[in-house]
Structure 1
Amino acid sequence: MEEIKVLLNNVKDSDYWVRKENIRKLLDYPEDLYLSDLEGWLRNGKDALLINVSMETFRALGKRALGSLVFLLRDEDSDVRNYAATVLGDIKDPVALESLVGALQDHDENVRIAAAEALGKLGDTRAVAPLVASLDDMPWTAMAHIEALGKIGGKHALSVLYECLENEDYRGMACFAIEKAGDQSSIEYLIPLLDKEDTKEQALQAIISIAEKNEIELSPSLFSPYINQFMDWMNSPQDEVRRAAFIALSWSEDIRGLPFFLKAFEDDLLLEYSLKGLLSLGKKAVPEIIKAMEKPSKNKVALAKVLSMMGEKESLMLFADDEDDEVRTEVALAIGALRTPQAAEMLQTLSRDPSEEVRTAALLALKNSERQVHDL
């Protein structure tokens, strides 16, 4: 058909959006009319554009391309087999499982890697056993198998990944894989890695990730031996390492984390953990919080709320004349519960504050205080 020829010519355009639009139009026609062209392009090892166009179109066809791709997975050219395995992984159809498992035994290393990666994308637990069976391969192939096991997950995959932690060559990749697939039971296998120089940063990131993902409350004692290490990592050039170290400090209930919690109050992304860390320290943190509030800060209001949550209402009275309206509002709302002459006098003063918000808070606090006295 002439229309097919025109579209096949147009999908070779160097402009991605032109190709995308013409591929969309091509899909309106029966795939049998052009699959042979796509297969031929994939075999054209000298033209990167044609290979790319072929893979893009196969991906767009999805299930409609499975038969052709499975056929190409047995092509005599290892590059073609590699491309076919890659696209089958992108399509993620379990129909391709058996063929991809067979490709794990391909004589070409790159094809074996592509097959393992594709099985990881499929996420089918039936692939775990064959991935494990061919794990003792060349290092790069084994790495692909480990990564695939992490993507698939499940008890069997995890048990194998725990064993991989004992192998120095595989430990780092296994750690990353466990981070993806791990559950609460995985943490006990990762803790010892905090003492290993080559994987301690990865291990901490995995522990934090698993705990957050599964909403696990970790014991502060878990982190106690590593506080100095976490503090050192707060200077790491890697954002992910600094974040993991900070979260670990915030869960540690260790006073040495206090300066970091106060500093991070100016970082909205870490504010939640800063709050948890400060509240876990309780009264031990109060003097430093007060010092921090005496300096200009965009999160002074948040610190005032922390003092209120800690029950440090008398400490808040120090900031009744703070220049920030919101801080004075927090003071007014908090000290109403004190029911002392000094607090009552301060509330009277705040009820005449230039800020309407502060006046409203003070009047409300006075009213609540009077109601509590009446109830007594």
Structure 2
Amino acid sequence: GTAAGRAAVGDRLAVRAGRTELRGLDVVAEPSVCDWSEERLRGALADADRRAEAAAELARRGVRTAVPTLVETLEGDRSAPDRRAVVRALDVLADPRGVDALVSRLADDDDAVRRAAATALATVGDPEALDALLGAAKAEDDETTRYAMIRAARDVDPTTAMDRFAHLLRTGDDPAVRETVVRVLRVTNGERARGLVLEALDDSDPSVAREAIAAVRWADDERAVPALLRRLNDDDALVRQEAAGAFAELGARADEFRDGEELSDSTRERVVGALIDRLDDPVAAVRSWVIEALGAQSHPRAVGPLCDAYDEESELRWNVVAALGRIRDPRAIPTVVAALDDDDPSVRRRACRASAQLGTAAAVSPLCDRATSDPNADVRREAIDALGRLGENPARVAETMASVLEDDRTALRRAAVTALGRVGGSEARRLLRETAENDPHEAVREHARSTLE
């Protein structure tokens, strides 16, 4: 090397140790595109090595006078990354002069470019792009890109788009397009959008129907009920599953589910009756959602059929017990208490919780047995918690917790402290004081002290 040697930062220098002399080589930093003039940035759009970053910098600066040059750049033979960069620059600049170029990119052979073009058209907001977007969506094979196009169509002209969407849902022969329209309508505000989703509940294609069902399950709209009841008897098991699952949310009354408006009494009667009729569905996943929905609707009419289902069900007994706990009807007590001795630990665990929800003293003795001797630690912890929540028979519960406090599992001892605090009484306080002094784990001692306060 010589003192006059110069290299730009980023050049790759092949160096063989001991053979190349680097003394006197000056390394000069190339100015960042952030420091370039607008004229230089425009010129760089013709440079394959700098085109993408030049387009991004022009957009960052908001140079709308560069839009014609960006449009011209898109017309050449450019790489997919460069096309994406230029389209995104036009998106940021949001200039109507870029609309025709963006429309042409809806047919690009790169799906990311097509998505970016759709998004950019939505940003510009030219209603004239509506038909081009819908036409491209009909020809689009990529689901994500089709969604971007239909969403953009909604955004460029919301009123006309609803008319086009209605026509597509009623007469369109491609279920993939209809399904995507419903997906967009799910996230569209307004009565017209809601009405079209309700209409799509009766679509002949199962995938479209499932998308519509998924949309209405959170809507608290009683108008959806007739179609959902029809779908409960659909030939497609996945549609039946979605329809049953919708009633775990739509109009739900159980505490864990309630977050919207309830159904009217007459409608709820119809829903519960239809769900009961599906308790013998041949598909376990459908039965699971039916049971969940019956628990969520929390109607006393479901208690008898659910108790019968517990005796007949081989796979989903835990769902049945959980549903009975949510309904909180005393007629379920014998079934729930019997479930405390089920062979399946998941059923026993749910039965512990359901016993607390039902508030039954009949569960105290079997819960005490579970708390001290169940082979599954999760069941023991759930039983301990249930005894505390029940608050029945404090003397028996305190005796049980005294045994649990001798266990070597910290989590169980901590749960026992919580239960003693809920049950109260002199013996419970004595055990808490003893635990606060003598438990081997500081966290349990601290929990006992705070419970005593």
TM-score, normalised to structure 1, is 0.65
2:346 to 255, 263, 274: 263
1:351 aligns with 2:351: no
C-alpha offsets along residues 245-286 of structure 1, whole Å, 9 cap, x if unaligned? 7854653665647635573999xxxxxx99986654443876
Contact 2:59–2:92, Cα closer than 8 Å, also in 1 = no
Contact 1:10–1:22, Cα closer than 8 Å, also in 2 = no
Contact 1:62–1:91, Cα closer than 8 Å, also in 2 = yes
Q: Which has the higher helix share?
A: 1
**Identical counterparts, % of pairs:** 15
The offset of 1:108, in angstroms, is: 8.6
2:207 to 161, 168, 172: 172
Task: Look up the match of 1:304.
Answer: 384
User: Structure 2 vs 1, CA of residues 363 and 133 (structure 1 numbering), >3 Å: closer, same or farther?
Assistant: closer
User: Structure 2 vs 1, CA of residues 24 and 302 (structure 1 numbering), >3 Å: closer, same or farther?
Assistant: farther
1:133 to 162, 167, 173: 167
1:71 aligns with 2:100: yes
The offset of 1:213, in angstroms, is: 9.7
User: Structure 2 vs 1, CA of residues 178 and 115 (structure 1 numbering), >3 Å: closer, same or farther?
Assistant: same
User: Structure 2 vs 1, CA of residues 346 and 120 (structure 1 numbering), >3 Å: closer, same or farther?
Assistant: same
Task: Look up the match of 1:195.
Answer: 233
The correspondence of residues 1-376 of structure 1 with structure 2, limited to 5 A, is: 1-6=39-44, 9-10=48-49, 24-28=56-60, 30=63, 31-32=66-67, 34-41=69-76, 44=77, 50-72=79-101, 75=104, 79-80=107-108, 86-87=115-116, 89-91=118-120, 93=122, 96=125, 98-103=127-132, 106=135, 109-110=138-139, 115-120=149-154, 124=158, 127-135=161-169, 136-139=171-174, 140-169=176-205, 171-180=206-215, 183-185=219-221, 187-188=224-225, 189-198=227-236, 199-208=239-248, 215-216=260-261, 222=272, 223-227=275-279, 232-233=284-285, 248=293, 251=296, 254=306, 256=310, 259-260=318-319, 261=322, 263=346, 279-283=356-360, 289-290=367-368, 292-293=370-371, 294-295=373-374, 296-298=376-378, 300-312=380-392, 314=394, 316-317=397-398, 318-322=400-404, 323=407, 324-337=412-425, 344-345=426-427, 347-353=429-435, 354-355=438-439, 357=444, 361=448
- In 1, the alpha carbon distance for the partners of 2:122 and 2:351 equals 44
Q: Which amino acid counterpart does residue 192 of structure 1 have in structure 2?
A: R
Contact 1:204–1:245, Cα closer than 8 Å, also in 2 = yes
The offset of 1:160, in angstroms, is: 2.5
- In 1, the alpha carbon distance for the partners of 2:378 and 2:121 equals 48
The offset of 1:32, in angstroms, is: 2.4
The offset of 1:231, in angstroms, is: 9.1
Gaps of 5+ in 2: 1-38, 299-305, 311-315, 323-344
SS in 2 for 1:195: coil
Contact 1:104–1:115, Cα closer than 8 Å, also in 2 = yes
Contact 2:278–2:290, Cα closer than 8 Å, also in 1 = no
The offset of 1:304, in angstroms, is: 2.6
The offset of 1:158, in angstroms, is: 2.5
SS in 1 for 2:434: coil
Q: What is the RMSD computed on CA atoms of the aligned residues?
A: 4.8
- In 2, the alpha carbon distance for the partners of 1:287 and 1:125 equals 65
Q: Which amino acid counterpart does residue 296 of structure 2 have in structure 1?
A: W
Contact 2:150–2:181, Cα closer than 8 Å, also in 1 = yes
User: Structure 2 vs 1, CA of residues 214 and 53 (structure 1 numbering), >3 Å: closer, same or farther?
Assistant: farther
Q: Which amino acid counterpart does residue 384 of structure 2 have in structure 1?
A: A
The offset of 1:132, in angstroms, is: 1.0
- In 2, the alpha carbon distance for the partners of 1:89 and 1:278 equals 55
Contact 2:107–2:114, Cα closer than 8 Å, also in 1 = no
SS in 1 for 2:241: helix
Contact 2:119–2:149, Cα closer than 8 Å, also in 1 = no
- In 2, the alpha carbon distance for the partners of 1:5 and 1:280 equals 73
User: Structure 2 vs 1, CA of residues 163 and 65 (structure 1 numbering), >3 Å: closer, same or farther?
Assistant: same
Q: Which amino acid counterpart does residue 59 of structure 2 have in structure 1?
A: L
- In 2, the alpha carbon distance for the partners of 1:178 and 1:85 equals 29
Gaps of 5+ in 1: 13-18, 236-241, 267-272, 338-343, 368-376
- In 2, the alpha carbon distance for the partners of 1:151 and 1:38 equals 35
The offset of 1:36, in angstroms, is: 2.4
The offset of 1:297, in angstroms, is: 1.9
User: Structure 2 vs 1, CA of residues 141 and 38 (structure 1 numbering), >3 Å: closer, same or farther?
Assistant: farther
The offset of 1:66, in angstroms, is: 4.6
SS in 1 for 2:75: helix
User: Structure 2 vs 1, CA of residues 10 and 115 (structure 1 numbering), >3 Å: closer, same or farther?
Assistant: same
The total of aligned residue pairs comes to 332
